[in-house]
Amino acid sequence: MSADTTPSSTETLTRPPAVPQYADGPAGQRPSLLRLTAVELRKLADTRAGYWLLIVIALLSAGIVTVLLLSAPEADQRFENFFALAQFPVGVLLPILGILLVTSEFSQRTAVTTFALVPQRHRVVVAKLAAGAVAALVSVLVSVATSAVGTLLATLGGNPPDAWSTSAFAVLGAAVFQVVSVLMGIAFGLLLQNTPLAIVLSLVLPIAWSMLGGMISKLRTAAEWLDTGLTTAPLIEPPGAGDLTGGQWARLGVSVAVWVGVPLVAGLVRTIRREVS
C-alpha cells in the first residue's frame, strides 16, 4: 500500500510562507541596487514632511536669488554669488531630508515591510545613501537653474557681461558640500533612529563644537580639523573646490570621517542588529 502523501492540516499550517515575488524578477531574486535606489527616491516625496521639505528647498534657493536681486549692489549680482549663497539654506535642510529618509521607516513602521522584502539590510542602507546623494546633486542643479535666472535678470538691467563668469570647480564644490550634508543627516538618522532627536543633535552638535572651538583657544587647532563649518566653507566660496589646498582637503576628509563615517558605521551596525517589529 502506498504511503499517503497528502499533507496534514498541521503540516500545512507550519509550512514556511512563499518567497515574495519581486516586481523586477522571479520569486527569490533580490532587487537590483538601482531599483532599490529608485524606491528610496520615491520615498523622499511619499511622506508629507519629505514632500514639503523638497518644495521648501527649491523655494529657498529661488528666494535667496530674489533677495540678492532686490538688495545687493549691481556689481555683486553675479552668477557665482547667487550660486554660492543659495547653497547655505539648502545645506541646512538637506540633512533633515536625509534623516527623514531613514527615521520614517521606524516611525511609520514601514521597516517591517522593507526588511522583509530585502533581508540584506546593508543593501537598503546603501540604497538610501545613493538616493540621498542623488537628491543632493539635484538640489545643486536647481541652484544652478535659479542662479542662471537671477543672473539673466541682472544682466537685463545693464550689469557687466562678466556676471556669468564662473568655474566648474564652483559647481563641483557645491556638489561635494551638499552630498556631505545629506550623508551626515542619513548617518545621524541611522544612529539615533528617532526623528526629533536626530534633527536636534545634527544641528546642535556641530554648532556647539564650532562655538567651543572659537571660544577656547586650546580647541582651535582641533576645530580646524573637526569643525565642518570651517572645513566645508571653502567648497562653496568662489572659486570653489579648485582653490582648495592639499591641507584643506585633508581637514575636510578628517571632519567628514568623524561626523559622517563614525555615526554611519555605528548606525549601520545598529540597524543590522535591531529587531524590527
pLDDT at position 15 over 90: no
pLDDT of residue 13: 43
pLDDT at 197 over 90: yes
What pLDDT score does 23 carry?
Answer: 45
Residue 250, pLDDT > 60, answer yes
Cell numbers 512563499 correspond to what residue? 18
Mean pLDDT of the region 89-93: 87
Question: Which pLDDT band, with edges at 50, 70 and 90, does 1 fall under?
Answer: very low
pLDDT for the residue 241: 64
What pLDDT digit, counting tens, does each position of 105-146 carry? Answer: 888 888 888 888 888 899 999 999 999 999 999 999 999 999
Using alpha carbons, list the distances in angstroms from residue 114 to 55, 100, 168, 216, 277: 26, 15, 39, 46, 12
Answer yes or no: is pLDDT of 216 > 90. no
Question: What is the chain's mean pLDDT, rounded?
Answer: 83
In this prediction the pTM is: 0.83
Cα 198 to Cα 275: distance, rounded to the nearest angstrom = 20
Determine the pLDDT at residue 186. 95
pLDDT reading at 175 higher than 70: yes
pLDDT of res. 227: 87
174 vs 12, which has greater pLDDT? Answer: 174
Tens digit of each residue's pLDDT (9 = 90 or more) over 20-38: 444 444 545 678 889 999 9
Q: Rounded distance, CA 5 to CA 1, Å?
A: 12
What is the C-alpha separation between 112 and 106, in angstroms, rounded?
Answer: 8
Computed on alpha carbons and rounded to an integer, the radius of gyration of the chain in Å comes to 24
Sequence-distant (≥ 6) Cβ neighbours of residue 189 within 8 angstroms = 98, 99, 100, 101, 102, 103, 195, 198, 267
Residue in 70, 72, 94 with CA at minimum distance from that of residue 81: 72
Taking residue 60's Cβ as centre, other Cβ atoms within 10 Å add up to: 19
Residue 185's pLDDT band, with cuts at 50, 70 and 90, is very high
Given a cut of 50, whether residue 11 has pLDDT beyond it is no
Residue corresponding to grid cell 583657544: 217
Would you state the pLDDT for residue 160?
63
Smallest Cα–Cα separation from 48: which of 127, 108, 93?
108
